[in-house]
Amino acid sequence: MSAWSARQRHQGSRIALVPTMGFLHDGHLALMKEAGRLADKVAISIFVNPTQFGPGEDFDTYPRNLDRDLDLAREAGVDAAFVPRTEDFYLQGFDTFIDQKKLPNHLCGLSRTGHFRGMMTIVAKLFNVVNPDMAVFGEKDFQQLAIIRRMVADLNFNIRIIGHPIVRESDGLAMSSRNTNLTPEQRKTALCLITALKTAQALMEKKEFHADILIHKAKTIITAHPDTSIDYIAICDPDTLEDIPFVDRPALMALAVTVGTTRLIDNIRLTPAQE
């Protein structure tokens, strides 16, 4: 992978990297197409990273289909796919991790201990191997994107980080590899995530700015479905991810909900209308 990158760079090509865990869907492919618009060569990585899964999480059941992924990536114009084997990428004795204090201490970080530490470590390793000029990440994992921007600034990675808006199914469900683990009934239930977010947005348009009221309404919508369990619903500052009590400035509403046994996340911007 490094040799490929060095060759491209030597020829004056700019490289964009799109890191993924595979089982590609149109959300991933949109990131790859954006990468192709911005750079001369597109590299992706496909790696289900064990260090970002906690005990009891879905590492073993995470969907995988490498042949299909490589076909889809090729069709999307990807030039190189880096698919390391775990034992080659985490050599025996591996013992170095990257951590951050503040941003991981919110939202998903509160229930997924060690997740962002594993995520930052693997992204840094991918950056070092691929040596891209830029990297594209989805806003669906909003906290991940914020943490990577911080890491890149703090550790002097000379890599431009590009955020891509959430890609949704036609009925509004945020695309996710994990959606394939939902039964048809759970797939319908999963729509309550976007319904809850949209309802909060609509309430704001009616001048309801109290975060606790907006969150309460969202909770009511989700708990109406018996097969759901809420991890969090938060309204926060998009830069610091700190909770904000009153939405008098642009905010992020984010949630994580388990539907059946599948943990889903989604988010939406809340922007108070200008008077």
Rounded Cα gap, residues 45 and 1, in angstroms:
10
Please say if 28 is a catalytic residue: yes
- Which of the stretches 27-35, 54-62, 104-112, 215-223 binds ligand AMP when contact is defined by CB under 6 A? 27-35
| CA atoms of 262 and 230, how far apart (whole Å) | 12
Given the complex with ligand AMP, which of 22 and 251 has the nearer CB atom? Answer: 22
Single residue of 164, 190, 233, 253 touching ligand AMP by CB under 6 A:
164
Q: Could you tell me the smallest distance in angstroms from the CB atom of residue 35 to ligand AMP?
A: 11
Candidates 45, 176, 189, 267; binder of ligand AMP (CB under 6 A) is 176
Smallest separation, CB 143 to ligand AMP (Å): 10
Query: Cβ of 212: how many Cβ atoms within 10 Å?
Result: 11
Q: Which two tokens stand for residue 4?
A: 């490929």
Contacts of 79 (CB under 8 A, 6+ apart): 8, 41, 42, 43
Question: Interacting stretch for ligand AMP, rule CB under 6 A, among 54-62, 66-74, 175-183, 240-248?
Answer: 175-183
Q: Are 46 and 177 in contact (CB under 8 A)?
A: no
> Does 31 participate in binding ligand AMP (rule CB under 6 A)?
yes
The single-letter DSSP state of residue 246 is B
Judged on CB neighbours under 10 Å (0-12, 13-18, 19+), 23 is: buried
Catalytic residues: 28
Binding interface with ligand AMP (CB under 6 A): 20-21, 27-28, 31, 137-138, 140-141, 164, 166-167, 174-177
